């Protein structure tokens, strides 16, 4: 009798496992079809199933460390949350495909973000980030980079090596004509959104 119960349990687990795997691995093009969790409390109550999390406009004041509990998280939005610092622990969320943290007070991009092998969209627009780190080219699947309205003064040469990029939004960022021409010349396949150039020093200078 015990053997029968064990066999039944094994069969059930075998049937369920593929469904869990599918639920936890969503194609980027299908992310919009997955339910969004909009409160940290409800997400923590169902941590294994949290694929998309949007805590925007909640005046958090700081990045909630509890977010690192969601190991299957693939989309994270924290717009207008008054966040000044991101923890350097994003490698704990290896499934992330989209990060959107606009309209905050971020000064830097943590290096752990560059360990995300499946990241397709990185949107840190309207912050106070002053440079794009050299490690940006480690994001080999990144197709969209949005950094508009940031006081960026350094655009690394490695940025132009990211031939998979399709959109870079740098609107309202001070950029010299030389930097703009370099980006447009070296990334011909990419739509680059920029304001008119300024008489300023930036890029590698």
Is residue 92 a part of any domain in this protein?
yes
Is residue 146 a part of any domain in this protein?
no
Is residue 40 a part of any domain in this protein?
yes
pLDDT at 153 over 60: yes
pLDDT of residue 24: 62
What's the CATH code of the domain at 21?
Answer: 3.80.10.10
Is residue 201 a part of any domain in this protein?
no
Q: What would the pLDDT profile of 100-118 be if each residue is shown by its tens digit?
A: 999 999 999 999 999 999 9
Number of domains the chain is built from: 1
- Mean pLDDT, residues 133-147 taken together: 98
Tell me the residue range of the domain where 32 lies: 1-96
Q: What would the pLDDT profile of 9-44 be if each residue is shown by its tens digit?
A: 444 333 433 333 334 679 999 999 999 999 999 999
Q: Give the residue, 182 or 203, on which the prediction is more confident.
A: 182
pLDDT of residue 10: 40
Residues 6+ apart with CB under 8 A from 86: 63, 101, 106, 108, 109, 110, 113
Residues 6+ apart with CB under 8 A from 44: 66, 69
Is residue 192 a part of any domain in this protein?
no
CB 79 within 8 A of CB 98: no
Give 185's pLDDT tier (boundaries 50, 70, 90): very high
Is residue 188 a part of any domain in this protein?
no
Give 202's pLDDT tier (boundaries 50, 70, 90): confident
Three-class SS of residue 178?
A: helix
- Mean pLDDT, residues 183-191 taken together: 96
Give 139's pLDDT tier (boundaries 50, 70, 90): very high
Is residue 197 a part of any domain in this protein?
no
Is residue 62 a part of any domain in this protein?
yes
């Amino acid at each position: 009798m015990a053997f029968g119960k064990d066999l039944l349990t094994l069969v059930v687990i075998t049937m369920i496992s593929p469904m869990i795997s599918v639920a936890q691995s969503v194609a980027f093009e299908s992310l919009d079809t997955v339910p969004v969790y909009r409160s940290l409390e409800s997400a923590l109550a169902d941590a294994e199933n949290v694929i998309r999390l949007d805590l925007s406009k909640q005046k958090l004041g700081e990045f909630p460390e509890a977010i690192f509990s969601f190991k299957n998280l693939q989309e994270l939005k924290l717009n207008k949350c008054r966040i000044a610092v991101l923890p350097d622990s994003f490698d704990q969320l290896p499934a992330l495909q989209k990060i959107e943290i606009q309209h905050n007070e971020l000064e830097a991009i943590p290096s752990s973000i560059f360990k995300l092998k499946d990241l397709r969209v990185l949107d840190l627009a309207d912050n106070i980030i002053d440079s794009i780190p050299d490690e940006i080219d480690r994001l080999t699947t990144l197709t969209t980079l949005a950094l508009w309205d940031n006081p960026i003064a350094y655009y690394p040469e490695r940025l132009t090596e990211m031939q998979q990029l399709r959109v870079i939004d740098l609107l309202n960022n001070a950029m010299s004509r030389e930097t703009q021409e370099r980006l447009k010349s070296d990334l011909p396949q990419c739509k680059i959104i920029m304001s008119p150039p300024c008489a300023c020093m930036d890029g590698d200078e």
